[in-house]
Amino acid sequence: MHARANNASRRPRGEAFPRTCRVGARRDFRAAYEDGAKQHGRLVVVFARPRAEGGLRLGLTATRKVGGAVVRNRARRRMREIFRRWAATAPEVSVDLIVNISEQATRAPFAALSSEATALLARAAANVEK
């Protein structure tokens, strides 16, 4: 029988990435691609679309060109962490942000990916806010 997880190993609530912060519906992805503002980078591409409901949400895509399942999942985990850190200091906006992860992003150091993605997220959110 498995032992219960120690409460000390659980994340504090402030660091969670709840479902309310995720874009999951295909129609929301398509709407961002068709109507959203696009920001290009070397490692990622960010699409931003304003929301009526309020709040900041993130959607991630990594195609099979990026790599196998392990590589794609690692890339998505890295982007979620970058988004979580950025969202803590971001202005209060109601935006869906869709991030397309490139193959180069999987090989890039975390610091380089973080600096590019943070700049693109901020620029995309600011452009949609206008």
| Residue ranges per structural domain of the chain | 21-129
Residue 111's Cβ-side half-sphere holds a number of Cα atoms within 13 Å equal to 0
Please tell me the pTM assigned to this model: 0.84
CA distances from 105 to 10, 15, 57, 74, 112 (A): 28, 23, 21, 10, 9
H-helix or E-strand containing 96?
A: strand 95-101
The whole-angstrom separation of Cα 18 and Cα 68 is 25
* Number of C-beta neighbours around residue 35 at 10 A: 10
Structurally, at CATH architecture level, domain 21-129 sits in 2-Layer Sandwich (3.30)
Residue-by-residue pLDDT tens, the chain, 130 positions: 555 544 444 445 566 778 888 998 999 999 999 999 999 999 999 999 998 888 899 999 999 999 999 999 999 999 999 999 998 888 888 899 999 999 999 999 999 999 999 999 999 988 886 6
